[in-house]
Amino acid sequence: MSHNYINVSSKVPNNLGEIVLNVDDISSVTTPTNKQLLAYDGANWTARTAEGIEYEETLHTESVSTPITNSSTILLNYPTAPARLYRFSNYSTVGDVYIDAIHNSDIEMLEEDFGSGTIWFYGFRFLTAGVYRITAKLVVGPNSSDTSFVELQLSNADNSVTYGPRFQIGNANVKQKNIIGVVNASVNDEVGFYKHSIINAPKYYIGDSNILVVIERLS
């Protein structure tokens, strides 16, 4: 008795009609080199170097303020409202501006003005309803020890509505985790960094360059 069978390249089926093929059996791809990939060019399988995205990293040319040592201890509760929101950025002291605050018509900064040109930011007010993602890199002052921390959470002023998990922030010598939260904001909703606890007397800073807060409108 005879039967017909199909060859695939040089491979023939076994008695069950099975053919086992391996990548090593592909002989039509010529001279592949180390770390190349198998790619189909529309007509043939070819060896190709993996494609990636090239980028250039350019130096930041804007001036960056040097943090000034500050001996004032961060308090859990402030004497003025909102008592538990963290003053996260010193915008200016006695008229000297330390940071660039760039925002559009969707958001405005919540400021605590101490007079004589000294202003601290403590949160954000949403002027347009929408869904926003907040990513923040914050630190305590350079006069804090490496075991000094503030435990923060994105929330409203009394922490009755929260927008992400709790994070501990330390000084610039300590590896930091970004504070992340998502806010489904109505018009005039106010959000800040609520202080849950103070650990080992962290200090304020003036003009620290290790501060970055990014707010993205998602919808």
User: What CATH number does the domain containing 123 carry?
Assistant: 2.60.120
Separation of CA 213 from chain center: 9
Residue 63: inside a domain, yes or no? no
Residue 24: inside a domain, yes or no? yes
Domain check: are 51 and 72 in the same one?
no
Domain check: are 84 and 48 in the same one?
no
**Residue where a domain stops, chosen among 14, 31, 55:** 55
Domain check: are 93 and 32 in the same one?
no
Residue 147: inside a domain, yes or no? yes
Token pair belonging to 110: 């919540």
pLDDT, residue 153, reads: 96
CA distances from 136 to 43, 63, 89 (A): 49, 21, 11
Residue 119: inside a domain, yes or no? yes
Domain check: are 86 and 172 in the same one?
yes
Domain check: are 112 and 187 in the same one?
yes
Task: Identify the domain containing residue 155 by its residue range.
Answer: 68-217
Domain check: are 41 and 131 in the same one?
no
pLDDT, residue 56, reads: 43
**Residue where a domain stops, chosen among 55, 85, 101:** 55
Separation of CA 21 from chain center: 45
Domain check: are 105 and 150 in the same one?
yes
Q: For the chain, which residues score pLDDT lower than 70? A: 1-10, 22-30, 35, 50-70, 101-103, 206-210
pLDDT, residue 173, reads: 85
pLDDT, residue 131, reads: 95
Domain check: are 11 and 78 in the same one?
no
Token pair belonging to 103: 């925002």
**Residue where a domain stops, chosen among 55, 76, 94:** 55
User: What does pTM read for this prediction?
Assistant: 0.67
DSSP class per residue in 57-114: -----S--PPPEEEEEEPPSS-SSSSTTB---EEEEETTEE-------TTEEEEEEE-
Domain check: are 96 and 42 in the same one?
no
Residue 62: inside a domain, yes or no? no
Residue 133: inside a domain, yes or no? yes
Domain check: are 98 and 40 in the same one?
no
Domain check: are 99 and 207 in the same one?
yes
Residue 161: inside a domain, yes or no? yes
Residue 60: inside a domain, yes or no? no
Token pair belonging to 37: 């990939």
Q: How many domains does the chain have?
A: 2
Residue 194 and residue 76 in contact, taking contact as beta carbons nearer than 8 Å: no
